[in-house]
Amino acid sequence: MKYILLCLIFFFGLTACDNSEELPPRVEDTTGWSITIPTTRLSYEERDSIQKMKDEYEEAVAKRAAEEIAGNK
Amino acid sequence: MKKYIVYIMLLTGWCCMSCDSYLETKDYGQVSPETTEDYASLINMWMEHIETKTSKNPPTYMYQDVLRMECFSDNLNASLSTTTQKTYMPMYVGEYMGSLIYRFEAQYKFIRDANIVLDNMKDDGSELWDKTVAVAYALRGITYFTLLREFCEPYDAGRATEIMGVPIVDHFDMEAAPDRGNIQETVDFVVSDLKKAVSMNMTDKTYPLTSDVAEAFLARAYFWGQEWNNAIETAKSVLDKYPLAEGEEYKNMIQSKPKFTELPAEVIFSSYTQGSSTGTFENCYSKYSQYRPLDLKLITQFREKERDIRYNLFFNKEYLNTKRLNGFVRSSEMCLIIAESYAHLGDEINALHYLNMLREKRIRDYEPLTMNTLPQENECGLITVDAEGKPLTPLMAAILNERRKELYMEADRWLELKRNGRPEFWVGYNGIKYETKKYLYTYPLRNNDLIANPDLEQNEGYDEL
């Protein structure tokens, strides 16, 4: 009886260790994670439209300056 | 034999014992708050961030946020930039997305401490308890409102139970991992918190978040959630208490600069009232903001030119910014909320009344607009549809254009573009094309947040990035 009980205790002890080597799930390194939104190159048409905007802006500034001079007179 | 049976029973019993409580302590700081003063100090720390700090990503916008958000919008023309300054003047929203992703986590720190106060602070019948609870509700409501506007798609009444909200955390629980729910739940939670803050009638202006401030944000929340009648009623209540400024008083308010001993006329709330980074403030205002001219479409909206007090106040002769960078909530916005809400409800008379109310304070020798004299426009810069997705009428276009002018350089336009159709547009600089696509109006969640809570879902458009 004594041996039977010892065997039982021994096997009982082993039942708890079926995954003794198990590790927590690996979490990928996130410290260096960032986000980059892709950009593209401007086409020639798009560069032209920007140049047009610049010209319009310069013209508007000049017009305002002229209006101011006319107003002062 | 009996002895062995006893041993077996003891051994079995011992194995069944568990250790479920030995790690139950939830340590959230060096000292666990116990008294009302301890809890008040938690809230006071965040109030200090709102009043004086430029870090920690508070839910209310600081001067540098104001400048950046203006750069994301169409108020300034990035294609005409004279130089770059990526930290304060990103070319477009995408260029600053690497920093914007941290705002999600940052907001939940404010919410965490508000929850700790609301969960645990025992009512000792003191005035401090009342004030601290009122401020905690206001802080949590305002923070969720910021999350709502930044991390959710714009509100759409027809899809309010389909659009993702943000996780509602209304109690401090380190193990909780709520999902995003829907946008209606988020709007309802914001409204509920702000209504509680308003009902407590906290008037002590040593706290930046009084009940009046909560009420102004409540009007904003109703407005964002398209509850037009509630928005009108709430905004009117605020407007009655904070009348519109005009003339010299208006000029002084617009050009006011922290530190403030008291808030300027018509201002209900201001962040950074006790500014300590004056050098950066001045640089952002007088140097960086002038690297990029205003959009000509905005300029042409000032039809009355010098008769409009804002014409010479907001920009100089080269159409470069001259308006100070303040994170205000002020009654002009309330007036425009009322006008637009009436327009959505089809009440043109009242919509025009409130539009004219604002314009007559800004324009000398003003002739009130009528339905017949409204400019025949159906756009407001890039905006061609209203918040409900309908094409702009001349009345709605006039209200949105007035709002664009009045709240220029106050972190409003970017959110207005988002609320009104999320128009796509591009700018170019140094050979590179920067495209503001529809999905970029809603900021992404950070990868760490998604890993920490697997129930969180990333916003549309960012999964592939």
Residue A27 lies in a domain: no
Angle between helices B102-120 and B36-52 (to 10 degrees): 150
Confirm whether A12 is domain-assigned: no
Residue B133 has pLDDT above 90, yes or no: yes
Tell me the chain B residues in contact with residue A42 when contact means C-beta distances shorter than 8 Å: 428, 431-433
Element containing residue B291 per DSSP (H, E): none
Per the CB < 8 A criterion, the answer to whether B429 and B81 are in contact is yes
| Nearest chain B CA: its distance from A73 CA (Å) | 17
pLDDT tens digit string along B284-296?
A: 888 999 999 999 9
Structure confidence by residue, pLDDT tens digits, B82-131: 988 888 899 999 999 999 999 999 999 999 999 999 999 999 999 999 99
3-state secondary structure B218-257: HHHHHHHCCCHHHHHHHHHHHHHHCCCCCHHHHHHHHCCC
Q: Where are the domains of chain B?
A: 36-452
The CATH fold of domain B36-452: 1.25.40
Q: Is the pLDDT of residue B376 over 90?
A: yes
- CA-CA-CA-CA torsion for B151, B157, B158, B163, nearest 10 degrees? 20
d(CA A65, CA A59): 10
Mean pLDDT of the residues in chain B: 93
Per-residue pLDDT tens digits for B245-281: 999 999 999 999 999 999 999 999 999 999 888 788 8
CB of B439 within 8 Å of any CB in chain A?
no
Residue A13, domain member (yes or no): no
**Does residue A5 lie in a domain region?**
no
CA distance B256 to B250: 10
Q: What pTM did the predictor assign?
A: 0.89
Q: Give the pLDDT of residue B17.
A: 61
Distance separating alpha carbons of residues B319 and B323, to the nearest angstrom: 11
A11 inside domain: no
Convert the pLDDT of each residue in A1-47 to its tens digit. Answer: 777 777 777 776 666 555 555 665 555 555 556 788 989 999 999 99
Q: Is residue A24 part of a domain?
A: no
Under the banding of pLDDT at 50, 70 and 90, the label for residue B56 is confident
DSSP secondary structure letters along B43-66: HHHHHHHHHH-S-S--SSPPHHHH
How many inter-chain contacts (A to B, CB under 8 Å) are there?
78
CA atoms B87, B91, B97, B100: torsion sign: positive
In chain B, which residues have their Cβ closer than 8 Å to the Cβ of A9? 11
Q: For residue A66, give the chain B residue with the closest CA.
A: B317
Residues of A near B (CB-CB distance < 8 A)? 1-2, 5, 8-9, 12, 27-28, 30, 33-43, 46-47, 50, 53-54, 56-57, 60-61, 64-65, 68
ipTM here? 0.82
Cβ-defined contact of A61 to B317 (cutoff 8 Å) = yes
Who among B97, B319, B446 is closest to A61 (CB)? B319
| Residue A66 in domain | yes
B360 CB burial (10 A radius; 0-12, 13-18, 19+): middle
Q: Which domain holds residue A56?
A: 41-73
Cis peptide upstream of residue B259 (ω within 30 degrees of 0): yes
For residue A14, being part of any structural domain is answered with no
Q: How many domains does chain A have?
A: 1
